[in-house]
């Protein structure tokens, strides 16, 4: 196939680029970074060989996207999409918590944060159905949490609110660049991706055992989202490097289509992330990569990002363009299940 040869050629270019960067880092005494790039160069070389032998594999360049004759057919794109869902080995199982265990855990988390007892409704059947289905599909890392409806304010004092938004966040709300809802928790049960984001390694970092890896690769190969073309070469199956427009307009839509959860799939909001860091995941603030959040900024497709340890962790957020691709910014899906009391 012409397409496989084009991808092999692009992979060879990426290999050469990675080798040059590795040499530069090694000359500068940064051997750890150089070794990581050497490994990546070897990976590009192996994938180039595989592309030539077995058809399209891992890379679709911006050049190939300009010529429809070099694109995979609709049948191929459909096949790529259908191959996404990961499958769990038959002998591997995961025991889900009971309703009682979830309610007790939620009460403990919320009392530590708000300093008072919070009424926690029974988790809906849809939450258990989704977690069981993900278990069958081999999708790991989603955690159930209950969040009450709450409107935060800058001067509010809560005993467990240790990691608080910095003044910039509140100023954007006051200036109407962020909607007032940006400081609001919406009531309901949620399934959050609880895994810790990785340390930045010049674009080479990926999430451990990432259930999105196959989807990210397939969407880039099929041309549904753009391959990352920044300064550092980046694994094509990484959830880093996608723009907010792609995350919300394509990636999460395709994830929901393929997995069919019984809740609503969205990108996490900043206050959801900030609350989870305080009640369950302080380690999220310990790595220097960022997350995109779904909060609208400046009333447009622009969004906000934050969470890096070099920028005060999940106290820090700033604005970003909706079409921005950055090798240091990822995203965490969340599935919402509003309770019957909402």
Query: CA-CA distance, 13 to 109, in Å (whole number)?
Result: 50
Q: Are 287 and 328 in contact (CB under 8 A)?
A: no
* pLDDT score for 250: 97
**Chain mean pLDDT for the chain:** 83
Query: CA-CA distance, 281 to 291, in Å (whole number)?
Result: 14
Query: CA-CA distance, 239 to 226, in Å (whole number)?
Result: 12
Domains in the chain: boundaries? 1-71, 99-199+248-337
* pLDDT score for 310: 92
DSSP 222: T
pTM score of the predicted model: 0.75
C-alpha dihedral sign at 118, 119, 124, 129: positive
E strand or H helix at 51:
helix 31-54
* pLDDT score for 17: 64
**What would the pLDDT profile of 41-89 be if each residue is shown by its tens digit?**
676 666 666 655 544 333 333 333 333 334 444 544 444 444 445 544 4
Closest CA to 333 of 237, 191, 146: 191
146 — phi, psi (to 5°)?
A: -105, 135
Q: Tokens 């909607």 identify what position?
A: 179
**What would the pLDDT profile of 151-176 be if each residue is shown by its tens digit?**
999 999 999 999 999 999 999 999 99
Digit-by-digit pLDDT tens for the chain (342 residues) are 444 455 556 566 666 766 776 676 677 676 766 676 667 667 666 666 665 554 433 333 333 333 333 444 454 444 444 444 554 444 455 678 999 999 999 999 999 999 999 999 999 999 999 999 999 999 989 999 999 999 999 999 999 999 999 999 999 999 999 999 999 999 999 999 999 999 999 999 999 999 999 999 999 999 999 988 777 778 999 999 999 999 999 999 999 999 999 999 999 999 999 999 999 999 999 999 999 999 999 988 999 999 999 989 999 999 999 999 999 999 999 999 977 554
């Amino acid at each position: 196939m012409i397409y496989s040869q084009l991808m092999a050629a692009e992979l060879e270019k990426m290999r050469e680029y990675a080798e040059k960067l590795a040499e530069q880092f090694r000359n500068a005494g940064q051997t750890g970074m150089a070794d990581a790039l050497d490994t990546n160069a070897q990976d590009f070389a192996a994938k180039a060989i595989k592309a030539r032998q077995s058809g399209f594999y891992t890379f679709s360049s911006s050049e190939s996207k300009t010529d429809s004759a070099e694109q995979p057919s609709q049948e191929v794109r459909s096949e790529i999409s259908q191959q996404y869902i990961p499958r769990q080995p038959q002998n591997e199982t995961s025991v889900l918590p009971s309703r009682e265990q979830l309610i007790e855990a939620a009460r403990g988390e919320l009392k530590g944060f708000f300093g008072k007892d919070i009424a926690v409704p029974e988790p809906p059947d849809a939450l258990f159905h989704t977690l069981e289905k993900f278990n069958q599909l081999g999708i790991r890392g989603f955690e159930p949490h209950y969040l009450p409806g709450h409107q935060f304010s800058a001067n509010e004092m809560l005993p467990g609110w240790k990691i608080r938004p910095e003044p910039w966040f509140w100023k954007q709300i006051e200036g109407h660049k962020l909607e007032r809802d940006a400081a609001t928790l919406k009531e309901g049960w949620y399934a959050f991706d609880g895994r810790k984001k990785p340390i930045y390694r010049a674009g080479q970092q990926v999430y451990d055992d990432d259930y999105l890896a196959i989807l990210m690769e397939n969407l880039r190969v099929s041309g549904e989202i753009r391959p990352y073309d920044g300064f550092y070469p980046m694994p094509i199956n990484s959830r880093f490097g996608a723009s907010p427009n792609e995350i919300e307009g394509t990636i999460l839509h395709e994830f929901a289509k393929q997995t069919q959860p019984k809740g609503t799939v969205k990108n996490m909001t900043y206050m959801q992330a900030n609350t989870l860091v305080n009640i369950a995941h302080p380690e999220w603030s310990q790595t220097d990569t960022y997350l995109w959040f779904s909060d609208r900024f400046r009333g447009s497709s622009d969004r906000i990002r934050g969470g890096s340890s070099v920028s005060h962790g999940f106290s820090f957020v700033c604005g970003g363009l909706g079409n921005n691709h950055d090798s240091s910014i990822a995203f965490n899906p969340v599935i919402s299940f509003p309770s019957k009391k909402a």
